[in-house]
Amino acid sequence: MTRPIARIASRGSPLALTQSRLVRSALAKAHGWPEGETETMCPIIAIKTTGDRIQDRPLVDAGGKGLFVKEIEEALLSGAADIAVHSMKDMPAIQPPGLIISAVLEREDPHDVFVGSDRQPFARLKPNAKLGTSSVRRQAQALRARPDLEIVSLRGNVETRLAKLARGEANGIMLARAGLTRLGIRPDGAEVLADWLPALCQGAIGIEIREDDQHAARLLAPIDHRDTHVAIACERGFLATLDGSCRTPIAGLARVVGQALQFRGEVLTTDGRTFWTASRDIASAVREAADEAGRDAAREILERAGDALPRF
């Protein structure tokens, strides 16, 4: 019987499992694992996190984005799993001691899409329409553009939120384009919000390991996408310096262009009426410099915003 080479800890949602299978497929291709044996060589352990169990209120009221990773990281630390697969936008700015992000897959399109119940774009939402979202960032950005909108809390996975839209619980919803792409879902009339900054690290799949696990590090090294890893280093530096979570409306996007990195980030008040932006361009796109560029952009916003910065 083939013994597992690596056990993957994952959330149990359809999207999370799809992402874990993408990681497993990348490993199988990189290491030439025999077809038909990958599930045995690299089993996926589905874990129901606190964030998955809480469906009756926004996560902002329950403790923040760490609720999607706590139990998964506990499985890593206890030795019940060897690697953990995360949507990087769900990761808190600070990881528990002893854990690191070892590799990142190539990023999908990081932008949001708007899906209207009448298949019309966001700009054509009727006055005082209901927008379904539990993201304070999406709420703030939407209200900045359309202060008349009524925000209704909408939790659940992609399929659940699309079903709620179809039932008329909202006139429109916003979803991550990356998740729709990975699930193969193409809602009619979906509008890519290319001019809106996405959530930090949205569209990136991160792979976490124990810091002292050299076997896992060597296993993952061939599938690490350098440019994506550099970009999320910048975005996570921005997040860490702002001490942000899903409680704070923060957005930003870093891109590697050749050997350079370009970053733009913003922080908003929850009603979208006030916001601060900062951008950085650096010539050398390496992880350490990218992290510092993100932190420097955050320090600029902290200095300019002062006591007006949203704090929860």
Listed in order, the ranges of the chain carrying CATH 3.30.160.40 are: 225-305
Mean pLDDT by 10 residues, the chain (312 residues): 85 95 98 92 89 51 63 94 95 92 98 96 96 95 97 90 95 97 95 97 98 97 98 97 82 96 97 97 95 97 90 66
Q: In whole angstroms, give the CA distance from residue 170 to residue 159.
A: 15
pLDDT value at residue 246: 66
**DSSP line for 171-235:** SEEEEEHHHHHHHT---TT-EE-TTS---TTTT-EEEEEETT-HHHHHHHGGG--HHHHHHHHHH
Q: In whole angstroms, give the CA distance from residue 40 to residue 130.
A: 46
pLDDT value at residue 68: 73
pLDDT value at residue 2: 61
Residue of 90, 112, 213, 291 marked active site: 90
Q: Which CATH architecture has domain 225-305?
A: 2-Layer Sandwich (3.30)
pLDDT value at residue 54: 47
90 is catalytic: yes
pLDDT value at residue 309: 85
Listed in order, the ranges of the chain carrying CATH 3.40.190.10 are: 1-106+203-224, 112-192
pLDDT value at residue 130: 97
- 112-192 has which CATH code? 3.40.190.10
Please choose, from the candidates 291, 300, 290, 289, the residue with its C-alpha nearest in 3D space to the C-alpha of residue 267: 300
pLDDT value at residue 93: 86
Helix (H, G, I), strand (E, B) or coil at 112: strand
pLDDT value at residue 3: 75
- 1-106+203-224 has which CATH code? 3.40.190.10
Please choose, from the candidates 220, 253, 241, 236, the residue with its C-alpha nearest in 3D space to the C-alpha of residue 301: 241
| In contact, 114 and 226? CB cutoff 8 Å | no
pLDDT value at residue 48: 82
Alpha-carbon dihedral angle through residues 122, 124, 130, 135, given to the nearest 10 degrees? 10
pLDDT value at residue 53: 52
Question: Model-level pTM?
Answer: 0.92
